[in-house]
Structure 1
Amino acid sequence: MTLVQLEYIVAVDTHRSFVLAARQCFVTQPTLSMQIQKLEEMLDAKLFDRSRQPIVPTEIGEKVIAQARTVLTENQKIRELVVDRKKELSGELKIGIIPTVSPYLLPKIIHGFVEKYPLAKLVVWEKTTEEIIRQIKSGLLDCGLLSTPLHENNLIEIPLFYENFVAYVSENSVLADKKSIVPKDIDLDETWILNEGHCMRDQVLNICQRKNSTKSSQQFEYNTGSIETLKRMVDQNNGATILPELVLEDLTAEQLKRVRYFQSPEPAREISLVTQKSFLKRKMIGALQKEILAFIPQKMLDEKQKEVVEK
């Protein structure tokens, strides 16, 4: 049994394809298949059900692959012991970040991080929470910036900051005449929200304590994954929407007049760095954490007077 063979079975499990796994491992498919077959012969057990598409592990294969991931993680830690001795941070950090955080945080920290650590490379993907969790577990991502808690026992959550929610309202909204609001003031029939699959949609519904709204009284129903689109819908088509606080930094003076704050305790979301329990690249993740915290306003670092809304 070799580390290479373990890497191959983990790659097949991750991509559920021998072709994609071979491409990831920079070998031909026959080479990868032959090595996996040798491992199966040595173990006297079939690790994959090749009759199904996409390919899935067998029952014993799932257990072997889980142990293989542990072995490969521990092997990588040995390399990191040497890397951590070096003063300069180097290597690649693969990050998943949800779309409701990315445009308001990432541009603010990238320049500082790259300037401080010229030998380090950040590779970032915008994905949904579910996709990021799955790819962290499979090793495709090193960490994620997500709204927590996730209630995933095999993941570690490192809370970074607590971001308030605010209402963004049109002149004709029922909220326009209020100086501050409470959750029961929100009418979902006039509120633009994100489509299914985005954790912030569920948080907004939880704030309003209603799980169903179809805008049945309107002639137009719009599904979007973009906060910017929601904001523009309010600007041009009336109604209201709920925004995370970091969005406010990009609003014009005229747009800020449309913001209504919630009374205390203000609904908020917790944003955390999420990794596997036996996570690697601790030095790089620590540097990323430090860079984010340097940008976040002090008032967002404390959860006091806030009510964290779960998805």
Structure 2
Amino acid sequence: MTITQLHYVLAVAEHKNFTKAAQKVFVTQPTLSMQIQKLEEELDITIFDRTKKPIQLTEVGQKIVQQARNIVNESDRIKDIVDQQKGFIGGIFRLGVIPTIMPTLLPMFIGNFMKKFPKVKLKIEELHTEAIIEKLKEGHLDAAIAATPLQIEGIKENVLYYEPFVPYIPKEMDLHTNDKIDIDSLDINKILLLEDGHCFKDGIINLCKANREYDGDQLQLESGSFETLIKLANEGLGMTLLPYLHTLELKDSEKKNLKMFNDPVPAREVSLIYNRSELKMQIIEALRSTIASVVKGAITYQNVKIISPLNHKKDFQKN
């Protein structure tokens, strides 16, 4: 049994196709098939059911793939240990970022990070939280930036910052005249939301559900971008909530529609999340310190109330 054979098994398990898997690991399809067959013969089991389309893992194959991921991760750790011993910060680093964070946070730190760590080759993907978790577990991402707490087994969370929710209320709405907004005054059915799949939407629902019953059937206006929600609100179709960093780039005319919540200000927790194997920790720490340094000057709120993106999580206060 070899590490190379395990890499081939993981590739086929991912793509469910020998040809695509061979392309992924840069070998010919006959070579990949032969090596997997040799492994199956050595173990005297069948890892893949080749009679099904697409190819499926057998029951024992599922257990082998799970263990293969652990073994491959541990083998990668050897190089990681050497890199850390040498103080080397470089190589390919695959980072996932959720859509509601990508456009505002990335421009704030990416240039500084690349200048400071020129040997790191970042590969960044914009992904929803569900896809990020799946890719982290499968080893296709080294780390991600997402809203937390998630508390998922096998995934570690390193808090970067707390980002307040900011009400965007056009002058046509009654709450526009208020200097500050109470959470209790929000009606979830009058708030324009992002479409399903965005954890920021889930956080807003959690924020408001104690005050008004959420009736999804009433929400006819949902969008994939904050820009669209702002335009809809400007047309008098409702209010919305924005993450604080997004409000910094609004037009002056739009900033007049921004309000703040009374203390404690509801906020989302934004973290670097990564696999418990803690590979490439020197790069993860470099990212953490770079992001923390640039955000520290942008977000100065102290008394915030963290709203979880998960329905079953309780919010808590951070002073």
TM-score strictly above 0.5:
yes
Note if 1:211 corresponds to 2:214. Answer: yes
Q: Give, as a single letter, the amino acid of the residue that structure 2 aligns with 1:78.
A: I
Residue 141 of structure 1: SS of its match in structure 2? coil
Residue 172 of structure 2: SS of its match in structure 1? coil
- Please report the RMSD computed on the Cα atoms of aligned residues, expressed in angstroms: 1.9
Separation (CA, whole Å) in 1 of partners of 2:31 and 2:229: 50
Alignment partner, residue 24 of structure 1? 24
Alignment partner, residue 271 of structure 1? 270
Report percent identity of matched pairs. 38
Contact kept? 1:173, 1:239, Cα under 8 Å: yes
Alignment partner, residue 225 of structure 2? 226
1:136-175 equivalences in 2 (<5 Å)? 136-175=136-175
- Give TM-score, length-normalised by structure 1: 0.92
Residue 271 of structure 1: SS of its match in structure 2? strand
Residue 206 of structure 2: SS of its match in structure 1? helix
Separation (CA, whole Å) in 2 of partners of 1:139 and 1:5: 16
Alignment partner, residue 253 of structure 1? 252
Q: Which runs of 5+ in 2 are unaligned?
A: 311-319
Contact kept? 1:163, 1:269, Cα under 8 Å: yes
Range with bigger deviation, 121-130 or 9-18: 9-18
Contact kept? 2:148, 2:308, Cα under 8 Å: no
Residue 104 of structure 2: SS of its match in structure 1? helix
Q: Give, as a single letter, the amino acid of the residue that structure 2 aligns with 1:211.
A: Y
Contact kept? 1:160, 1:271, Cα under 8 Å: yes
Separation (CA, whole Å) in 2 of partners of 1:54 and 1:63: 19
Separation (CA, whole Å) in 1 of partners of 2:215 and 2:155: 31
Alignment partner, residue 96 of structure 1? 96
Contact kept? 2:181, 2:259, Cα under 8 Å: yes
1:188-228 superposed Cα distances (whole Å, 9 cap, x missing partner)? 33321011111111111111104323336xxxx33322122
Deviation at residue 235 of structure 1 after TM alignment: 2.3
Q: Give, as a single letter, the amino acid of the residue that structure 2 aligns with 1:257.
A: K
Q: Give, as a single letter, the amino acid of the residue that structure 1 aligns with 2:296.
A: P
Deviation at residue 145 of structure 1 after TM alignment: 0.5
Range with bigger deviation, 226-235 or 137-146: 226-235
Contact kept? 1:172, 1:238, Cα under 8 Å: no
Q: Which runs of 5+ in 1 are unaligned?
A: none
Separation (CA, whole Å) in 1 of partners of 2:303 and 2:186: 23
Residue 267 of structure 2: SS of its match in structure 1? strand
Alignment partner, residue 234 of structure 2? 235
Separation (CA, whole Å) in 2 of partners of 1:308 and 1:269: 6
Q: Give, as a single letter, the amino acid of the residue that structure 2 aligns with 1:107.
A: P
Alignment partner, residue 196 of structure 1? 196
Q: Give, as a single letter, the amino acid of the residue that structure 1 aligns with 2:217.
A: T
1:139-193 superposed Cα distances (whole Å, 9 cap, x missing partner)? 1111110111112111111111111111101111222111111223222333210
Contact kept? 1:189, 1:214, Cα under 8 Å: no
Residue 214 of structure 1: SS of its match in structure 2? helix
Range with bigger deviation, 153-162 or 176-185: 176-185
Residue 196 of structure 1: SS of its match in structure 2? coil
Q: Give, as a single letter, the amino acid of the residue that structure 1 aligns with 2:256.
A: K
